[in-house]
């Protein structure tokens, strides 16, 4: 495992709180500069404060991921600032509204897929080609272990789509040292996971960092489960 990501740049979507905030802190602890993303820049203030203890640059960026216009404005801001990112961590997601599977309206499917899948595709389209040119990149897309809950089908299906999409672009980039993997963080006590979840949000580390720290030409198109690494020390 390569822990020398010092000086590299990462974009962690949804890093104003929860899992994304933990991932941002973990990357910063290893010397990685972080673009801290929220729907509004003021939402990122807590994370920015938390990152001040590390010798890195923490830059707030904003985009409502339901808006392609806002996504592209954020991408432009990042390229103008640092020419792209080395690590793209697609963490942000929304849960679908529970309902009998036959009664879930089309608009709800579209809402969830826009944020959980289409925004991820837009960000990969934006940053992966530059990673390919530099022959270095790590893309991690957040998956989920959710199953047997048809009332939350838009969420679970969007995450299944993330898994397949990750495999597809991993194959596309397999010769370019751009490693694309997907991570199940476990059922965590977050705003999305709820208070009855099995694990505290802090347990996403250090496992969530593993696919970002892979050696060159390491595994790609693979599934990682953060809770498998709870005893790892970085």
Contact present, 5 and 32 (Cβ < 8 Å)? yes
Which residues participate in catalysis according to the annotation? Answer: 155
Give me the long-range contacts of 23-26 (CB less than 8 A, separation at least 24): 23/89, 23/91, 23/204, 23/205, 23/208, 23/209, 24/50, 24/51, 24/58, 25/50, 25/51, 25/205, 26/205, 26/206, 26/208, 26/209, 26/234
Residues with Cβ within 8 Å of 174's Cβ and at least 6 positions away in sequence, in order, are 220, 221
Could you tell me the strand order of the sheet in which 33-38 lies? 58-62, 33-38, 9-12, 87-90, 137-142, 178-184, 223-225
Helices (H), 8-152: 18-29, 45-51, 68-82, 106-113, 119-134
């Amino acid at each position: 495992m390569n822990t020398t990501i010092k000086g590299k740049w990462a974009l962690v979507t949804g890093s104003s709180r929860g899992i994304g905030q933990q991932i941002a802190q973990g990357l910063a602890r290893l010397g990685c500069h972080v673009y801290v993303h929220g729907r509004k820049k003021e939402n990122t203030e807590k994370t920015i404060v938390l990152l001040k203890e590390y010798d890195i640059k923490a830059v707030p960026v904003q985009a409502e991921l339901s808006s392609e216009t806002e996504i592209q404005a954020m991408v432009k801001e990042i390229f103008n600032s640092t020419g792209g990112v080395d690590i793209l961590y697609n963490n942000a997601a929304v849960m679908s509204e529970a309902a009998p599977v036959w009664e879930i309206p089309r608009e709800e499917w579209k809402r969830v897929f826009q944020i959980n899948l289409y925004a991820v595709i837009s960000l990969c389209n934006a940053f992966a080609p530059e990673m390919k040119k530099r022959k270095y990149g790590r893309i991690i897309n957040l998956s989920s272990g959710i199953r047997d809950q048809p009332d939350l089908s838009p969420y679970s299906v969007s995450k299944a789509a993330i898994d397949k999409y990750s495999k597809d672009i991993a194959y596309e980039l397999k010769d370019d040292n751009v490693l694309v993997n997907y991570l199940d963080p476990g059922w965590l006590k977050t705003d999305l996971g709820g208070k009855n979840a099995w694990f505290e949000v802090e347990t996403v580390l250090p496992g969530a960092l593993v696919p970002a720290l892979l050696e060159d030409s390491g595994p790609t198109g693979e599934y990682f489960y953060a809770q498998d690494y709870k005893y790892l020390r970085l």
